[in-house]
Amino acid sequence: MLFRSAIMKNDYRFGGFVASIAAGLLFANTAIAHEAGTANDSYVGAAGGGGHYITDSSGNCVRTGSWVVEDMTVDCGAEPVAEAPPAPPPPAAPTYESMNLNASALFDFDKATLKPEGKASLDAVGDKIQSKGATVVDVDVIGHTDSIGTEEYNQQLSLRRATSVKDYIVSKGVDASIIDVSGKGESQPVADNSTKEGRAQNRRVEVRIGVKAPK
């Protein structure tokens, strides 16, 4: 009887020892998984901090119940996202050279039809544009008047004169697609409209030649 009691006590102690070891291992494993699982709640394990994702026997990352497809990482099967190439810098703005042509040399008073001597002046303008070749990317032709007459009439007159200048230099070979015309009327004077001399200076056609900046 004493012998059997001793055996039972030993069995109990051995069983308690085994249970203690199993509990310790379970605690250790749980602690490791918990420590490693801080980087992504959708996977068991961690991507950083010295840990790594826990995988199954097939090598797949073990997912948690909160996993959705958007949670896929490169470490667990997602394709790496290629970085977009940087956007090219915008082209540099062209540099402009301005030529002011006195309207009295181009047109009769209150007219928009070019005079013969006016055409001769524009021949030089057309030659200058074409001499620059493909570097010319923009030509602005801008008409101006003095303050005699109404603002509306002067704006229309300045536009008709600018259009006449464009049509002539296009007839001499300048590309029409790069030419913009506008009429400013009396809105941008360069001299005093209260004097005859000032009004003569304000009646003009401005030609701005835009050349693309070198690379």
Q: Would you say residue 90 lies in a domain?
A: no
Do 99 and 198 belong to one domain? yes
Same domain, 206 and 102: yes
Same domain flag for 57 and 127: no
Tokens 């697609």 found at: 177
Q: How many domains does the chain have?
A: 2
pLDDT tens, position by position, 20-69:
444 444 333 433 333 333 345 666 664 444 446 777 777 777 777 777 77
Q: What is the pLDDT of residues 112-159, one digit of tens each?
A: 999 999 999 999 999 999 999 999 999 999 999 999 999 999 999 999
- Count of beta carbons in the 10 Å neighbourhood of residue 135: 14
Domain hosting 15: range is 2-76
